[in-house]
Structure 1
């Protein structure tokens, strides 16, 4: 797709149609500060670009009936969410409805070439299934800091071989369309903002607890990335002075105590030390433990597994409490793979935050699980590329 909106009025109309679906000229006119004649000019120019199409007559509001318009139904975006241990790829329309979604295990430490071979194979499979003839743009999430303007990962702790890799440029060439790249937790926040639990919230935190722990920060409806793209790297906030060594080189970081990797390690220790017959049985049959095994053991009432979840939730809550006191968000969303631990984890986080932060900050503060699960990242990725393509050239 080569067309882009020519000005901020057209960009605003495209965003309204993306977020609200098909609408009449009259109702769009109510939402943008344009006279009827000026609105008609901008809509006609958008119709000429092919970005929007006429969509029948709107319901009558008295007088002549207005025409509905909608984003072109042929537009297709690719959303790619690369995690530490899996890859999600989806195709959406311009209103960010998911038409096809694939998930496969993948170790991000295999490096960008191997990971992108798999991403391209998954994208090809989706296109072959008939959900997209061509792609108009792609959004990519990676589990580490990103220099956003260039779409390049910067010193990501759990991504050896990715530092400085030109993700945006390389994938744009392979896919033949514009590409935008961001940190995976920022995209999770954008997904929940578009179609999930944060739909009506302008200022919120989205905490992703997966292999590691990160936080998407949304201020005034926009993701805040920081000067170098590393805003929200809360997994490396210290929770224990001179504590456990962390993969980042420091000691006592939150990630050294909680997140998928730390939880699996502590679960194996509990199994080997005889603290948990349930985990010991899983370890014996599988040869290793994952965070999902802790969830299974906790669901069966295993005290050691429940203790691990509560302790991890308390440490995570300790960090979130500091963020809440500093940022005063309207909502905290908890997402990521470890949310399979469910309400035991959520209760532990809530208890710590409500106990530690001032009542003024927490009095009306919901702390909730994300609604979208593994779709949050790919919807956020599609939103990222649509934000780019629906902004003035």
Structure 2
């Protein structure tokens, strides 16, 4: 990702954030290299680094001396310099995790609440957040990120059916979350949050262009291009589960027939496995899975497709194996350096780590247009200046 500094009026906090994000993604890294990457002077970068060190966000260590001269100081993120909470709300309940700046899960909690209603969900979230904050009572809490099934604000598809959260239509989710937790709050659809977690902490950390196929209760996907998740004009890109793939097939709550997630999702797997077993389900859906892979590759041309979500890793492995050999597509190249399909390294943690990363990125990373909360820890020194 090409992060560049700015001389516009909001430049000081913005530049601070791009320096911190560069260290978080590229560290250990020296000041001079940071300056080259973000397009700022070494003096400006050094000033920013002093501020970040004063806030406890960075760790510094001297390079081993290999030649004449004073060795450069290499900078990394201080894992304990801040924490965030990741939430995953599904039709089956709530998972929550406390995550440090390095993406490590410090503690986790869950609450099984099938078909949960908003009031009960936010009460449970409040309890879970209190329990998690006790794990780091003196730690700096940056914010909270919530991942949930989409799409959002689509009358015929949002919050209807067994793979989403029925009865949540019209709920001011972000506002309720911030009010309940007293933390800067960020919301994202679950497959995009999982893709973000995989980009930062998982199998795709060194892959700039990949597609994340998310097996949730339903099925979603997200293209990551040059390190950025592509979300579409209304944030609903990636609803691959609602592609009609079986002519005259099963009715879907969205109103169409034969949607992919009616066959290829955790909900579909559990329904079908009651009759034919998990292996029988895999055999039945393998042709659809192969078609989905080819469609993704021909539409997006990713370097690889990362497959993850809440489905058991062993099931994903069997499905990937059954799909071999993969059909022809634009991805079939002799110079490939990675496999066409890769299982997520994060497993079920991908969405939680990604949800927490939403809060970290929302507070620390350079996205113009974000509204930063009054208790943004990076803004405290700015206000005092």
Task: Bin the TM-score by the shorter chain.
Answer: 0.7 to 0.9
The Cα of 1:159 is off from its aligned counterpart by 1.2
The 1:146/1:120 distance shift into structure 2, 3 A limit, reads same
Which position in structure 2 is the counterpart of 1:90?
97
For the residue of structure 2 that corresponds to 1:177, the secondary structure is coil
CA deviation map 1:305-336 (0-9, x unaligned): 42321222321221231121111110101112
The 1:75/1:216 distance shift into structure 2, 3 A limit, reads same
The 1:212/1:361 distance shift into structure 2, 3 A limit, reads farther
The 1:39/1:267 distance shift into structure 2, 3 A limit, reads closer
Which position in structure 2 is the counterpart of 1:333?
306
Instruction: With the length of structure 2 as denominator, give the TM-score of the two structures.
Output: 0.80
2:327 equivalent to 1:355: yes
2:233 equivalent to 1:227: yes
Mapping of residues 286-301 of structure 1, within 5 Å: 294=277
For the residue of structure 2 that corresponds to 1:80, the secondary structure is strand
Which position in structure 1 is the counterpart of 2:159?
156
The Cα of 1:376 is off from its aligned counterpart by 0.8
For the residue of structure 1 that corresponds to 2:345, the secondary structure is coil
Instruction: With the length of structure 1 as denominator, give the TM-score of the two structures.
Output: 0.79
For the residue of structure 1 that corresponds to 2:271, the secondary structure is helix
2:214–2:309 Cα contact (<8 Å) kept = yes
CA deviation map 1:58-103 (0-9, x unaligned): 5446433544555463412111122332422111222322221223
Paired residue for 2:287, among 314, 321, 326? 314
Structure 1: segments with no counterpart, 5+ residues: 148-153, 271-293, 295-304
For the residue of structure 1 that corresponds to 2:223, the secondary structure is strand
The 1:359/1:182 distance shift into structure 2, 3 A limit, reads closer
Which position in structure 2 is the counterpart of 1:150?
none
1:24–1:58 Cα contact (<8 Å) kept = no
For the residue of structure 2 that corresponds to 1:386, the secondary structure is helix
Q: In 2, Cα distance between the equivalents of 1:95 and 1:225?
A: 25
The 1:137/1:45 distance shift into structure 2, 3 A limit, reads same
The Cα of 1:5 is off from its aligned counterpart by 7.8
The 1:53/1:378 distance shift into structure 2, 3 A limit, reads same
For the residue of structure 1 that corresponds to 2:144, the secondary structure is strand
2:211–2:221 Cα contact (<8 Å) kept = yes
Which position in structure 2 is the counterpart of 1:184?
190
Q: In 2, Cα distance between the equivalents of 1:6 and 1:355?
A: 51
The Cα of 1:343 is off from its aligned counterpart by 2.5
Mapping of residues 137-156 of structure 1, within 5 Å: 137-146=143-152, 155-156=158-159
The Cα of 1:361 is off from its aligned counterpart by 6.4
Which position in structure 2 is the counterpart of 1:80?
87
Q: In 1, Cα distance between the equivalents of 2:254 and 2:102?
A: 39
CA deviation map 1:255-289 (0-9, x unaligned): 2223222222223334xxxxxxxxxxxxxxxxxxx
Q: In 2, Cα distance between the equivalents of 1:359 and 1:16?
A: 30
2:264 equivalent to 1:258: yes
Q: In 2, Cα distance between the equivalents of 1:228 and 1:36?
A: 39
The Cα of 1:9 is off from its aligned counterpart by 3.2
For the residue of structure 2 that corresponds to 1:355, the secondary structure is coil
Q: In 2, Cα distance between the equivalents of 1:12 and 1:94?
A: 15
Paired residue for 1:28, among 16, 29, 34? 34
CA deviation map 1:159-210 (0-9, x unaligned): 1111232121111122212111000111111111111111111111111123
2:274 equivalent to 1:268: yes
| Aligned alpha-carbon RMSD (Å) | 2.7
For the residue of structure 2 that corresponds to 1:87, the secondary structure is strand
Q: In 2, Cα distance between the equivalents of 1:112 and 1:362?
A: 51
The 1:98/1:254 distance shift into structure 2, 3 A limit, reads same
Q: In 2, Cα distance between the equivalents of 1:114 and 1:347?
A: 41
1:54–1:67 Cα contact (<8 Å) kept = no
2:244 equivalent to 1:208: no
Q: How many residues align?
A: 347
Which position in structure 2 is the counterpart of 1:297?
none
Paired residue for 2:23, among 2, 8, 17? 17
The 1:225/1:362 distance shift into structure 2, 3 A limit, reads farther
Point out 4+ residue stretches in structure 1 off by more than 6 angstroms.
none
The 1:356/1:22 distance shift into structure 2, 3 A limit, reads closer
The 1:316/1:221 distance shift into structure 2, 3 A limit, reads same
